[in-house]
Structure formats: structure tokens, C-alpha cells
Amino acid sequence: MNAKIIGTGCQLPAYAADNHYLSTLVETSDEWITERTGIRMRHLAQKETTTSLSVDAAGKALASAGMQASDIDLLIVATITADTETPSTACRVQAEIGAVNAVAFDINAACSGFLYALHIADAFIKSGVYKNALLIGAETLSKLVDWTDRGTCVLFGDGAGAVVLTASKQGGVLSQSVGSNGSKWEVLSCAARPVRNPVCQSKEVPGYLRMDGQEVFKFAVKTVPLCIEDALEKAGLQPEEITHYLLHQANKRIIQTVAKRLKQPEERFPMNIDQCANTSAASLPILLAQMDTQGRLHPGDKLVLSGFGAGLTWGACVLEW
Ligand code: ACO
């Protein structure tokens, strides 16, 4: 049995900030941000939380799958911006939607989080442990961003995307290629709360996202094509047989470079980065849900999903729609 996506949904915060607005906060310009990244807008949470965005995206995914929350037996939320250190976002979503029969937990793999969740769910479904899974990628990255650092604050946005997976004899996940390299963790990081207890009073302050942008760029354009090629080989498919390549929406130039390296036309690489910016673990399921709603996905289409992020982490998945 393969894990097959049978429903999608997404939710973005109501407020959207354009590049001109950011140029009132830091020394930047619409021209710089658009040329270097492809980003024009990003949605920022006001009343929304990681949990509320997840709940809304999950509700839409369940409706599009024609399933009840009680049908779900595995619920995974991929996020680095949970609303509470504990419990997990997944447990809070479970309570709100009434997924009473699910085992629920979060995973932290930054922008690769959704692909890691897919990797886990596929293994559980293939082995017969679980049948129906709800996977959510959700972030309110705006709370981790240093709004005085122009090198990072222009890049990120908030949002959530969700998919429902079910065990299927046909189609679904055909292959995956997933990896991590913890030795490069400092390239992109955000410190947690420092230790303060009766025997240790750390002077560190809670951190913000810090990134060596050029290192991340070089890592992405080298690793993403390699893991896509690996996943294609495992699926027994050639690059030209893929209908759409959905890549993590971090930078338009990264996506264009990957397209060139795979020798595939850019039109096969759909993008929403201009409207949503980098929403980390939410980026792939948001793009997938938007394409699904727009009627751009058809039975039999072969899709590649691929991403990279802090850790460093990366992954690619080949699936049949
Ligand atoms: N506005 C104006 N100027 C800026 C801005 C800004 N927002 N940010 C940086 N600059 C300046 C720099 O200070 C530098 O000025 P200098 O030449 O006087 O020193 C100049 O622009 C060039 O800076 P670079 O860092 O060399 O710019 P680059 O072309 O590399 O683009 C960027 C930077 C967009 C960050 C790029 O490196 C990138 O996209 N990297 C990948 C980032 C990424 O994908 N991150 C997500 C990872 S996913 C996750 O897990 C969260």
C-alpha cells in the first residue's frame, strides 16, 4: 500500500505586508527584495496562531478528502513555531478538530518538515500501522524574525497547509530521498530559551533567526537537484516525465537554478513565493493546496516535492496524483 494524498487545504493570515511596508521598517527596497528573492508580499499573523492556522487548513483538507476528523489515526504537525513548548501543536489541533482516534505529535525539521512528515507517514501507512493520516505544515515565523535585520526579515511569512493521506493500492508516494547534516547547524539557527535555574543563571537572551544566506543558497542549489535525481531514480522515472516540480518557496533564484541543473523548463516549477514568501514547513502544502484548488492537478500527474532547511535538512518525494 502507498500513501496517497486525497485532500488538501491551506490557510494564510488575513494581513499581508508588501515590500514597500518593509522598507519603512529597515533599509531595503521593493526592487532589492523582488530582484534577489522574487518576494513581493508575505502574510503576517495578528490574531492567528500556529494552532489556529493549522486547524483551519486541516478543516479544509478533511472536507476536500470527504473525511471526518475521527477517521484520522495519525496526525503530524511539522513546525518550528509552536504556540506552546508543550503540549505539541498536533495535540492542540487534535482537540480542536476532534481527531479523537489519532496519535498526534509534532516534528521539527524546519523548511524540510513537511517532507519529513510525509516520510514518516508513508512508512507507517506502508507497514499497515496506520491507514489515514493528516499532515500539517504550519508556521508563524514572524515571531522568530528579528525585525531590525534586513538580511532575514524580508524573507519569511506565516501560514499553514494540510494534506490527508490514505492507504492506496495505486499511485501516491512512489519514492523518497531524505537527508540531514547536523554539522552545519550554525548556518541557520534560532536559539531556544536559555537555562535559568537555581544553579545556573545564563546571561543569554532568547534568540531570533540567524542565517548565513549565501551558505544556505549554495547548499540548496547543490543538494536539491541531487536528492531529486535520487528520488527519480528510485521511482524509475526520467526528469521529463514529471508534470510539476514543487520546490520549497525560499528564493525564486534557487528554484530557477535547480530547474536549470535538472534541464527542465521553468514552467514546470510552480511558484507562489511572490505572495507568500518563505513559510518554512508550510510552504509545500500551501502551494500544493493552492494548485489543487485551481484545478492544476490531475489524476496520473507525476509530482516532485522537494525542500531544504535548517539542520541542515533536505528531502525529495516523487508521487502520483
Ligand atoms: N535590502 C537591501 N539590501 C540588503 C538586504 C535587504 N533586505 N539584505 C541584504 N542586503 C545587502 C547586504 O548587506 C549586502 O550589502 P553589501 O554588499 O554592502 O555588503 C548586499 O545586499 C548583498 O547581500 P548578499 O547576502 O550577498 O545577497 P544575496 O544575493 O546572497 O541574497 C539572500 C541574500 C536573499 C538571503 C540569499 O542569499 C538567499 O536567498 N539565500 C538562501 C536563504 C534561504 O533560502 N533561507 C531559507 C532557508 S529555509 C529555513 O529552514 C528557514
Quick: pLDDT tens for 274-294: 999 999 999 999 999 999 999
Q: Which of 19, 251, 272, 278 is catalytic?
A: 278
| pLDDT at residue 318, as a whole number | 98
Task: Compute the average pLDDT of residues 105-112.
Answer: 97
Looking at every residue in the chain, the average pLDDT score rounds to 97
| pLDDT at residue 203, as a whole number | 84
Pocket test for ligand 1, best of 22, 36, 155, 186 (most atoms within 8 A of CB): 36
Q: How confident is the model at residue 202 (pLDDT cuts 50, 70, 90)?
A: confident
Q: Which of 244, 248, 272, 317 is catalytic?
A: 248
Q: Which of 231, 235, 166 is nearest to 4 (CA)?
A: 166
- Rounded to whole angstroms, the Cα distance separating 40 from 31 reads 9
Q: Which of 91, 111, 153, 276 is catalytic?
A: 111
Report which of residues 202 and 77 the model is more confident about.
77
| pLDDT at residue 199, as a whole number | 94
Q: Which atom of ligand 1 is nearest to the CA of 151?
A: 8
pTM of the model: 0.96
Q: Decide: 140 in ligand 1 pocket, CB within 6 A.
A: no
| pLDDT at residue 156, as a whole number | 97
Whether 91 is catalytic is no
Q: Which atom of ligand 1 is nearest to the CA of 111?
A: 50
Q: Please give the biggest Cα pair distance in the chain.
A: 61
Whether 278 is catalytic is yes
| pLDDT at residue 204, as a whole number | 82
Q: Decide: 144 in ligand 1 pocket, CB within 6 A.
A: no
Amino acid at site 302:
K
Whether 111 is catalytic is yes
Task: Tell me the residue ranges of DSSP E strands in the chain.
Answer: 2-11, 15-18, 41-44, 74-78, 103-107, 132-140, 158-168, 172-180, 188-189, 196-197, 200-201, 210-211, 244-247, 302-309, 313-320
Task: Compute the average pLDDT of residues 99-121.
Answer: 98
Q: Decide: 279 in ligand 1 pocket, CB within 6 A.
A: no
Task: Compute the average pLDDT of residues 81-110.
Answer: 98
Q: Decide: 126 in ligand 1 pocket, CB within 6 A.
A: no
- Rounded to whole angstroms, the Cα distance separating 319 from 321 reads 6
